[in-house]
Amino acid sequence: MMRHPLLSVKDLRVEFPTRRGALTAIDGISFDLREGEVLGVVGESGAGKSITGTAVIGLLEPPGRIASGEIRLKGERIDNLPPAAMRKLRGKRIGMVFQDPLTSLNPLFTIGDQIIETIMTHLPVSEREARDRAVALLEEVGIPAAGQRLSAYPHQFSGGMRQRVVIALALCAEPELVIADEPTTALDVSVQSQIIRLLQRVCRDHGTAVMLITHDMGVIAETADRVAVMYSGRIAEIGPVRDVIKSPSHPYTIGLMGAIPSLTGDHDRLTQIPGSMPRLDSIPRGCAFNPRCSLTMDRCRVERPDLIPAGDSHAACWKLLETEGAGR
């Protein structure tokens, strides 16, 4: 029997109906995620990273909806599950960590209440067992004196500590996949790498796969196994982190790499991509990146490129066909 990937997204399309017709926020993206793997999803804000994450966990805000395509978890379709079945799957099989730990926790309930309720919703344990489990989890994510902190309210924790609690909450029913949506953006720079390393360590220990959504290439480089670069609701390039960073194929990824300050200092200045990402209602024909690309050909303005193999990764760029053909 063929082994299914943990998560498989095929031709996913997400639309937001408006007064002036439907806006396509995600336009036919496909990717797989293996068990225990960390997939970085990177792109500018508005590229559709977060929407991809919320679509996978089935929490798209109405009127947003999945227009076509499918999402499979271990081969089983989950994009068309009835709400009750999807509710049971959330937290149990797919967890999620949000951006802002200050607002992610309900201010009127103790940390213990929130963790214990989540555990008891998904696992057949007594309240006592749930409590012990909660303490163990909090210890695991590095909350000191976890037993006493159970009865503390969110406002009594610092931002970094709250994000640890959020991670514990996302993991408390042992999900197979965690979607981390910009988990460090709202935090102090000083605690960002701590939290990323914690997330990485805890997920590795539990064998949990991670879909790490961020606009920070540095975080991806440090954490992810593979990376998907998104642009205007499409995947521009996807592949192993090392390949994408060392030898990016898509002009957008190349530009993105140029925009990261390098510690070794071989660049004397940062290159910047001219222009900005198009708005959802004015995505150009053909390759969405063509107006900003320095290598645009006629074909780029007319026909949208599919993902084309480039070494171990894939990139959606017509230039690749050309160089490949020239090489033969």
Partner 1 sequence: MLAFTIRRLLQAILVMLVVALISFTLFRFVGDPVNQMVGVETTPEQREALRERLGLNDPILVQFGRFIAKAAQFDFGTSYQFRQPVAELIGRRLPATLELSFVSAVFALLVGIPMGVYTGLHRDSWLSKLFLSISLIGISLPTFFIGILLIFVFAVTLQWLPSFGRGDVVQLGWWSTGLLTWSGIKALILPAITLGLFQMTLIMRLVRSEMLEVIRTDYIKFARARGLRQRSINFRHALKNTLVPVITITGLQLGSIIAFAIITETVFQWPGMGLLFLQSVQNVDIPIMAAYLMLIAFLFVTINLIVDLLYFRVDPRLRVERAAH
Q: Would you tell me which residues interact with partner 1 (CB under 8 A)?
A: 57, 59, 87-92, 95-96, 98, 100, 103-110, 117-118, 121-122, 153, 155-156, 166, 169-170, 173
Contact 246, 227 (CB under 8 A): no
Q: How far is the CB of 206 from partner 1 (least distance, A)?
A: 16
Pair of tokens at residue 27: 């336009």
Closest to partner 1 by CB, 80 vs 156, is: 156
Q: How far is the CB of 125 from partner 1 (least distance, A)?
A: 15
Closest to partner 1 by CB, 30 vs 185, is: 185
Write the DSSP string, 101-150: HHHHS-TTS-HHHHHHHHHHHHS---HHHHHHHHHHHHHHTT-TTHHHHT
Query: Which of the 8 DSSP states describes residue 4?
Result: P
Q: Which helix (H) or strand (E) holds 42?
A: strand 38-42
Closest to partner 1 by CB, 74 vs 242, is: 74
Q: How far is the CB of 51 from partner 1 (least distance, A)?
A: 14
Closest to partner 1 by CB, 92 vs 304, is: 92
Apex CA 44: angle with CA 41 and CA 46, to 5°?
95
Closest to partner 1 by CB, 88 vs 204, is: 88
Contact 65, 26 (CB under 8 A): no
Sign of CA pseudo-dihedral 34, 38, 43, 45: positive
Q: How far is the CB of 144 from partner 1 (least distance, A)?
A: 19
Write the DSSP string, 170-234: HHTT--SEEEEESTTTTS-HHHHHHHHHHHHHHHHHHT-EEEEEES-HHHHHHH-SEEEEEETTE
Q: How far is the CB of 155 from partner 1 (least distance, A)?
A: 5
Closest to partner 1 by CB, 6 vs 235, is: 6
Q: How far is the CB of 3 from partner 1 (least distance, A)?
A: 26
Q: How far is the CB of 11 from partner 1 (least distance, A)?
A: 24
Closest to partner 1 by CB, 98 vs 318, is: 98
